[in-house]
Structure 1
Amino acid sequence: MMNSPFRISSHAAGLTALAVSAAFVGACDNRPATEAAVTAVPVTPVVAPATAEVAAVAPAAYGVHDHAAHAQAQPASDTERTVSTGTTAEVGAGELLTIERMMPEQVFANSENRFTLKASNNSDKILHNVVLHHAMIGDFQVVQTNTPSEVKVPQGVQKGERGDQQMAEQSFNIGVLMPGDSREVTIAGRPGGEGQLHSCVWADYSAAECAPIQVVAPQVTMEHLFVDAEGNPVSQAYLCDDVFVMYRLQNVGTGETGRITVNEELPQGLVAADGQRSISLDVDPIGAGETFESEPVQLDLEQAKIQRSGMMDVFGRAIGTGDRVSDLSGSSPLTLMKPELTLQVRSPGEQFFGRDVSIEAVVENVSDVPARDVVVTLPLPADAQRVSLNDASLTVADGGILIDELAPGESRTVGVTFRPASPGDYSGVAVANGYCAVRLEKPVQLSVVGIPALQLETIDTQDPVEVGAETTYRVRIINEGNAADTNLTITGQLPEGFAFVSGSEDVTNENGELSLPVYESLDAGEEIYFEVVARAEQPGRVKFTLNVKSDNLADAEETEPTTAF
């Protein structure tokens, strides 16, 4: 039978060590010495009683022997001594239970005295059913204890005058001692008379062999995220933005999850880029402390039907189901934005050539969201000169005027001033466009009107002219303006007393009334030239008259005086 793995020591000044044999153990609990120890098998009580003397060696009547191995008392103080007594046995790794006893070296008859027993678990095992036994051999009456106990008298013990108090065994049920724990029992009693007392102590317990079983509780959180192309979370987006939806699941508990399925019915107005209105994905088990992030799924935001305000709120929500998870969901809001612009164009419609022309566009953001990257394009003649913006803070980029951003309700007027290089009719389109906004176009018509300016010039080659002689009238009609003159009618009258001799090919004479064919157009810088030869038939101061009419000139007259003698 294996010895019990516990050690007993007693503390009282004056005695350093006292060993008690197995025979004495039998005397304390009325068992043969061979039964003093109980095998330390789990659930089997282990008993190792021991004694400590007070004032003298125990009488032989109680089976107490003073062995040669006993140490002699060494006084340390007047009131206490330290006694280490008992046997120590090991099971497995070493000692399991230690019992310490703190008591006085001597006590006084018929007065109350106290001593303490301390049971300590020095092992890494859990000790169950720990029962601490104590018996006082001699005339001793227990008055009180700090721990409830069961009192019995072992069979075969001779009763004295005090009956069962001669060797009353007290059993203190300590219960469970965890590794490193200890319990103290305090006993108060009164000796009946002079003599010797013997304190016996032993213990029963079961040493449990424990195997750990880990209890885990996976706990999963799920985030529903709208993100941009770089994976950054977004809470608002323009319809032409690249927006994705993704899911982040994190196991913040202990233990691995089972497989999880995530499902989402996309909110009204949203579809995935592949045209599907729902998303479903399977997630492999997630270990404790691990995080799963799904691949982003691109959305087609342009399918959303946004009202004139340019703003719509949607709410995405996904549900997760699977083994060892419950109430798993994630959600996030998204504001969809679509700016709306209006465009008005102001143009003179017609302008005289040689003057500056200004064309303006008024762009207004009539939505509730910012309009970004607004660009206005105004039509210009290819040969426009002296072009300038009416607002120096604006810049021209890629042929358009960049406004950058218009806040909700904000309007901006942009304009350009230029000078046409030539008269003519011009047409073009003014355009306003912005990020995610509908392109707006307005036609622009411009007529650059030139000004014709006819100069009439008539000279005679011979003046004065002798009667009977001839003179030649040279006529020039020059368009000195910047536009053509049209439908020119040219007539003339010979001087009085002069006869028509000849004229240029187109000149017609009828009784001195001269005419030329109608000229449909005379462009700027062009001229009409003709000559008329006349003979003076009578003296006098007379004049040659030229009349010109056109669409631009109501009636013009030019005269050239001539003197005949």
Structure 2
Amino acid sequence: MAFTLYGCGMFKYEAGVEHDKPPYYHGHVEKEPPERHMRSHVHEPAPEPPKSDMCTADLADPTNEKDCCSVIYLQKMGPCSGSVGEEYCYVIKVTNLTNKKVEDVEVTETLPGNFSVKNSTPEMGPGSTASVAKWFLGEMAPQETREIKVCGIPTQSGHMPFCAKVAYNLPGACIDPIITEPKLTIAKSAPAEVSLCDVIPITFTVTNTGTGVANNIKVKEVLPDGLQTQDGQTDVTLDVGSLHPGESRDVALTAKAVKTGEFKNTATAVADGNLSAESNTTTTVVRQPVLAITKVASNDKVFLGRHISYDIVVTNQGDGPATSTVVEDTVPNNASVVNASQGATLLGSTVTWNVGTIQPQDSQKLTLTLNPTGLGTVKNMVVARATCAEAVSAETTTEVLGIPAILLEVIDENDPIEVGGNEDYKIIVTNQGSDTGTNIKVTCVLEDEMQYVSSSGPTTGSVSADGKTVTFEPLPTLASKANATWKVVVKALSEGDVRFKVIMTEDCLKRPVEETEATNFYD
């Protein structure tokens, strides 16, 4: 059974044509319907529109003029006829005509009694009934168009009017001032460990994490006791300037330590508007190497000709590594180098070891052997130095002693000798040792066949009353490798195998030295 669709509100039909500007009047395919009170008395057969004909209806709110001054434009499109029991679908298009958003858009459709809704896209919203369909579209963007498709089944023949209306709200008249708030953060970095001689670089990173410009930013740092700037200050203020939102800037200072220890500290960033931020706490440990040195000689006394050996120990007693450690031993003028432990170099009279790094509480052992070149005292000094450590030294003293070794020789210059002639006896005393001989005394004994004539030498001789003993005054000293010669002249009185005896004493000798020279006196 066929029917004709009538729109409510704005409606116009022309076969095969869609219209953008309806003249806003009620109508159907052929002509205007009769007045409502006349419809029951007019019996005209419903005309059959062309099969491809579409009915449209639209409205523009609130002016009924789509092109001027309206906000929402609603357009409905559907077939102008349908059949009972067969699916009938139509479309509602809703357009925001403005260049601003429209809020709370809701389409309400009055459904005819001879139409049963099967489905819609989007689905009908809350408040929908069999006679009323509602779609809450919410906010619509400028120039946005939404489409609603409704499908259902006509249940009776006759007119099937669908009437739609739209409700909406315009956005309020608003001003939107931007309220900004700058916010500061500060991060502080410093080395975890330094040597007492190192500078301490401290860096501050100030960031504006807020939404406004932070002006007149300053970093304030009060250095803990034991730290100060290069010019001796402890209260430090650094200018940062201004920071835009999201901007960061680094400022730095260089500190130095005046003592060892652990130093903890925080900094503060301040700016206009009572802005303030506190940094993280940094901890810096200041260490220092402390050197100690010992030097031990093999003996405090040695005899000339024997070596002196030294054990040198350098220890780092501090809490920081002793880097670039150098040990220097100055060889005295009265000694020469025999050998030194590995790594040593000799330049002039200085033996040098480049030890490198000695860790805290570690030691380095070195050895040196010297040969004394003369009697006396050998003073040997060694010095150790390292980066950031005070130089230390050690000195040893060794007495170099000599040993006197006295050689006694007696020579008869003429052998054999005729009776009546004179014999010269030469007495030679030589110090073959390394030390000076002292208080050397020579005594000569003559046998009966001899008669004293004369004597000479470095000391004066005297003859005993019987003429058989010649005694020379003691020679106070005789240097090492030196000699002294005395001479005694005797006369041969009678023939025989005679002996000229010499007795010598010296302070270092435990007993006298005796030497006898044989001479043949003949007649």
The TM-score normalised by the length of structure 2 is 0.75
Q: Which residue type is aligned with residue 456 of structure 2?
A: S
Indicate conservation of the 8 Å contact 2:289/2:389, yes or no.
yes
Question: What is the CA distance between 1:460 and its match in structure 2?
Answer: 0.9
Measured against aligned partners, the alpha-carbon deviations of 1:380-420 in whole angstroms (never above 9, x if no partner) come to: 22353343223x25667985323323333333321111222
Structure-1 separation of matches of 2:335 and 2:35: 136
Q: Which residue type is aligned with residue 146 of structure 1?
A: M
Say whether residues 1:508 and 2:461 are aligned partners.
Answer: yes
2:295 matched residue in structure 1:
345
1:320 matched residue in structure 2:
269
Question: What is the CA distance between 1:245 and its match in structure 2?
Answer: 2.6
Superposition map of 1:176-195 within 5 A = 176-178=139-141, 193-195=157-159
1:461 aligned residue (401, 413, 427): 413
Question: What is the CA distance between 1:134 and its match in structure 2?
Answer: 6.2
Measured against aligned partners, the alpha-carbon deviations of 1:153-192 in whole angstroms (never above 9, x if no partner) come to: xxxxxxxxxxxx9xx9x99775532458665556688787
Structure-1 separation of matches of 2:455 and 2:162: 174
Indicate conservation of the 8 Å contact 2:268/2:276, yes or no.
no
Percent of aligned pairs with the same residue? Answer: 23
Q: Which residue type is aligned with residue 405 of structure 2?
A: A
Question: Which of the pair is proportionally richer in strand?
Answer: 2
CA RMSD of aligned residues (A): 4.4
Say whether residues 1:59 and 2:8 are aligned partners.
Answer: no
Indicate conservation of the 8 Å contact 2:462/2:472, yes or no.
no
Structure-2 separation of matches of 1:218 and 1:481: 97
2:92 matched residue in structure 1:
117
Question: What is the CA distance between 1:532 and its match in structure 2?
Answer: 2.0
1:384 matched residue in structure 2:
335
Measured against aligned partners, the alpha-carbon deviations of 1:51-77 in whole angstroms (never above 9, x if no partner) come to: 9x7xx36735599xxxxxxxxx9967x
Question: What is the CA distance between 1:139 and its match in structure 2?
Answer: 7.6
Structure-2 separation of matches of 1:194 and 1:561: 184
1:480 aligned residue (426, 432, 436): 432
Q: Which residue type is aligned with residue 459 of structure 1?
A: I
2:42 matched residue in structure 1:
none
Compared CA separation, residues 114 and 361, structure 1 to 2 (3 A): same
1:406 matched residue in structure 2:
358
Structure-1 separation of matches of 2:115 and 2:193: 88
Q: Which residue type is aligned with residue 194 of structure 1?
A: G
Measured against aligned partners, the alpha-carbon deviations of 1:515-541 in whole angstroms (never above 9, x if no partner) come to: 444333322332212322211123332
Mean alpha-carbon deviation: is it higher for 496-505 or for 194-203?
A: 194-203
Structure-1 separation of matches of 2:55 and 2:437: 142
Indicate conservation of the 8 Å contact 2:201/2:255, yes or no.
yes
Mean alpha-carbon deviation: is it higher for 406-415 or for 171-180?
A: 171-180
Structure-2 separation of matches of 1:116 and 1:395: 105
Counterpart secondary structure, 2:294: strand
Compared CA separation, residues 281 and 561, structure 1 to 2 (3 A): same
2:39 matched residue in structure 1:
none
Indicate conservation of the 8 Å contact 1:346/1:361, yes or no.
yes
2:186 aligned residue (207, 217, 222): 222
2:237 matched residue in structure 1:
280
Structure-2 separation of matches of 1:214 and 1:495: 141
Question: What is the CA distance between 1:315 and its match in structure 2?
Answer: 1.1
Counterpart secondary structure, 1:432: strand
Counterpart secondary structure, 1:247: strand
Compared CA separation, residues 394 and 526, structure 1 to 2 (3 A): closer
Counterpart secondary structure, 2:415: coil
Say whether residues 1:547 and 2:507 are aligned partners.
Answer: no
Q: Which residue type is aligned with residue 273 of structure 1?
A: Q
Mean alpha-carbon deviation: is it higher for 249-258 or for 346-355?
A: 249-258
1:21 matched residue in structure 2:
22
Measured against aligned partners, the alpha-carbon deviations of 1:358-380 in whole angstroms (never above 9, x if no partner) come to: 11122333444433333333342
Counterpart secondary structure, 2:101: strand
Indicate conservation of the 8 Å contact 1:15/1:82, yes or no.
no
Measured against aligned partners, the alpha-carbon deviations of 1:432-454 in whole angstroms (never above 9, x if no partner) come to: 34333343333310122233332
1:525 matched residue in structure 2:
481
Compared CA separation, residues 263 and 470, structure 1 to 2 (3 A): same
Q: Which residue type is aligned with residue 355 of structure 1?
A: R
Q: Which residue type is aligned with residue 356 of structure 1?
A: H
Mean alpha-carbon deviation: is it higher for 467-476 or for 335-344?
A: 335-344
1:371 matched residue in structure 2:
322
2:124 matched residue in structure 1:
146
Structure-2 separation of matches of 1:396 and 1:237: 34
Structure 1 unaligned regions, length at least 5: 1-9, 29-50, 64-72, 152-164, 227-233, 307-311
Mean alpha-carbon deviation: is it higher for 350-359 or for 375-384?
A: 375-384
Superposition map of 1:1-12 within 5 A = none
Superposition map of 1:18-417 within 5 A = 18-22=19-23, 24=24, 27=25, 56=29, 59=32, 89=67, 101=76, 103=78, 106-108=81-83, 115-119=90-94, 125-129=99-103, 131=105, 146-147=124-125, 174-178=137-141, 193-195=157-159, 197=161, 206=170, 218-226=182-190, 234-252=191-209, 254-299=211-256, 301=257, 303-304=258-259, 306=260, 312-323=261-272, 325-347=275-297, 348-382=299-333, 384-390=335-341, 392=342, 399-417=351-369
The TM-score normalised by the length of structure 1 is 0.70
Compared CA separation, residues 399 and 543, structure 1 to 2 (3 A): same
Counterpart secondary structure, 1:268: coil
